[in-house]
Amino acid sequence: MKTPNPDGTRRPPTHRILLLDDETAILIPMARYFTKLGFTVDMASEAEEAEALISHRRYDLAILDLRLTKFSDSAGLTVLQEIRKRDHQTSVIILSAYASQAVEEEAARLGADAVLRKPQPLPELAQIALALMGAGA
């Protein structure tokens, strides 16, 4: 189904993505980049905020920071679990500067499609995201 533009022309539907990161210096540029690529982007900086969005919307892709505060080692995995309770179609990428082999294995067990280390160049992240969604690069 195509969505009407304000000028009356039709455009293909966009992919809806959820970005979760507590660092605005990462979250905002990532959101801008994916928006320029044509994605509809929802942002969250806390796990609870992401979970509220997940409960009301379906996402094609979620990019989740693993560690949202100094005191939370794996809040991103909790959000991943919430996504998987509702939807097995959403592609999920876990991003972290703190990902160990054990965390990568746990993320895979919980249903993450990829675990990537920060910093991740946005063009490479977008290429991986598109490939996971089957949209090509």
125: domain CATH number is 3.40.50.2300
The C-alpha atoms of residue 137 and residue 134 are separated, in whole angstroms, by 9
Q: Is the pTM of this model over 0.95?
A: no
Report the pLDDT value the prediction gives residue 127, as an integer from 0 to 100: 95
- For residue 41, give the nearest of 30, 51, 49 by alpha carbon: 30
What is the residue range of 93's domain? 3-133
Number of domain units in the chain = 1
Q: Residue 125: what residue type? A: L
Are β-strands 61-65 and 40-44 bridged in parallel, bridged antiparallel, or unpaired?
unpaired
Q: Per DSSP, what are the bridge partners of residue 43? A: 19
Say what angle helices 122-133 and 24-36 make with each other, to 10 degrees.
Answer: 60
Exposed/middle/buried for residue 84 (C-beta within 10 Å: 0-12, 13-18, 19+): middle
Residue pLDDT tens, the chain, 137 long:
334 444 444 445 579 999 999 999 999 999 999 999 999 999 999 999 999 999 999 999 999 998 876 666 788 899 999 999 998 899 999 998 877 888 889 999 999 999 998 888 999 999 999 999 885 44
Token digits of residue 87: 């939807």
